[in-house]
Amino acid sequence: MERRKFIQTVGTAAAVTPILGSFSAIASNSVGSSEHTFPELPYAYDALEPYIDAQTMELHYSKHHKGYFTKFMAEAEGTDLMDTPMEKIFASISKQSVGIRNNGGGYYNHTLYWENMTPKHTAIPSKLKEALDKNFGSVDAFKEQFGKAAKTHFGSGWAWLIVDKNGKLQVTDTLNQDNPLMDVVSVNGTPLLAIDVWEHAYYLKYQNKRADYVDNFWNIVNWDVVNHRLSKA
């Protein structure tokens, strides 16, 4: 419930004026259970142009993300997972099926990814900047490390900024649809910023130039969301 409220809050706070045609189509996709919801996008498919093209966004959201959610719900149906928060499921994901791990991760990770992007320019809040300076030396040094993780990750997966249980900020990357909340990955923590480096996230526009997609990502990061996640962690 809290996540859904947060998504709505972020969407409202962003004050995005959606392009009605496409946004209406998106809104009709919002379905789920009391615990698990397929979220609305907080912006229109073409809102992140020119950095992420509308066709990629539409396919990514309405096919890939929706597919992960639908498959997760189908496998969770009739089990206590339907009423269990994703964070709790991930904490013992090693005890779950491959389907729950892959589709639950895909459902959750994409929600984080949509939330941490915005068509509106946001400045880095001072508290977040201080944390980045303290942990990485500077914001530029953080971007360099995060960008390197995203550009060099081999195969499909994600790069992350996380805060670990000791309050330390770290950059990490995960395979497939794994994430840093899962008990099967080597570096655990709460996700603050996520970038999808599966080819479906960028290939239509960037083809083999993943580095250009990663460099352009900085134009659309929602730093207010990253800061909010840090304050809640």
For the CB of residue 105, give the shortest distance to Fe ion in the complex, in Å.
10
Between 65 and 228, whose beta carbon lies closer to Fe ion? Answer: 65
Between 136 and 206, whose beta carbon lies closer to Fe ion? Answer: 206
For the CB of residue 196, give the shortest distance to Fe ion in the complex, in Å.
4
Relative orientation angle of helices 2-13 and 98-115, to the nearest 10 degrees: 30
Between 37 and 102, whose beta carbon lies closer to Fe ion? Answer: 102
Q: Name the residue number minimizing CB distance to Fe ion.
A: 196
Between 205 and 227, whose beta carbon lies closer to Fe ion? Answer: 205
For the CB of residue 198, give the shortest distance to Fe ion in the complex, in Å.
5
Between 115 and 196, whose beta carbon lies closer to Fe ion? Answer: 196
Between 135 and 176, whose beta carbon lies closer to Fe ion? Answer: 176
For the CB of residue 200, give the shortest distance to Fe ion in the complex, in Å.
5
Reduce the secondary structure of the chain to three states and give it as a string. Answer: CHHHHHHHHHHHHCCCCCCHHHHHHHHCCCCECCCCECCCCCCCCCCCCCCCCHHHHHHHHHHHHHHHHHHHHHHHCCCHHHHCCHHHHHHCHHHCCHHHHHHHHHHHHHHHHHHCECCCCCCCCHHHHHHHHHHHCCHHHHHHHHHHHHHHCCCCEEEEEEECCCCCEEEEEEECCCCCCCCCCCCCCEEEEEEECCHHHCHHHHCCCHHHHHHHHCCCECHHHHHHHHHHC
For the CB of residue 83, give the shortest distance to Fe ion in the complex, in Å.
26
For the CB of residue 33, give the shortest distance to Fe ion in the complex, in Å.
22
Contacts to Fe ion by CB under 5 A: 196, 198, 201
